[in-house]
Amino acid sequence: ENKSVPFEAIGEGMLHKLIDTFYHLVAQHPDLAPIFPNDLTETARKQKQFLTQYLGGPSLYTQEHGHPMLRARHLPFEITPTRAKAWLACMSEAMDTVGLIGPVREDFYARLNFTAQHMINTPEDVE
């Protein structure tokens, strides 16, 4: 066990609970729900694989799906600045709910914020 690996500091149990809580919030969010499938089971399963490796755990996502190419995989969806903000708000609320606190949370959230900005592929709608 090596707590300097964020995956190990957080633990698989808390990470999985975080992701399930997150998609529960995504499903209810008016800006996000329209671009996600109705059944988020498979989405959550892939995100558990992805975030495990993102946090320094085993490369579960790559083993099953190959290189993440995250930005390319998001291109079919209109990711606006508003949707990035909504995604991060759901994640922050999920972190609160599962009790993920302290420097591990701050570092994880900062990385997610950086990655979320990189996913933006569509400017805000201008009326």
Which residues are at the interface with ligand HEM (CB under 6 A)? 32, 35-37, 42-43, 46-47, 50, 54, 65, 70, 73-74, 77, 79, 83-84, 87, 112, 115-116, 119
* Beta carbons of 53 and 60 less than 8 angstroms apart: yes
Sequence letter at residue 123: P
Residue that is written with structure tokens 């009790």 in the block: 99
Q: Which is nearer to ligand HEM, 17 or 89 (CB)?
A: 89
CB of 8 to ligand HEM, least distance (A): 18
CB of 56 to ligand HEM, least distance (A): 14
CB of 22 to ligand HEM, least distance (A): 10
Q: Which is nearer to ligand HEM, 1 or 55 (CB)?
A: 55
Residue (of 98, 97, 120, 11) closest to 55 by Cα position: 11
Residue that is written with structure tokens 């671009």 in the block: 35
CA distances from 69 to 37, 38, 45, 96, 118 (A): 20, 24, 17, 29, 12
CB of 97 to ligand HEM, least distance (A): 18
Q: Which is nearer to ligand HEM, 1 or 66 (CB)?
A: 66
C-alpha–C-alpha distance, residues 53 and 61, integer Å:
7
Q: Which is nearer to ligand HEM, 8 or 78 (CB)?
A: 78
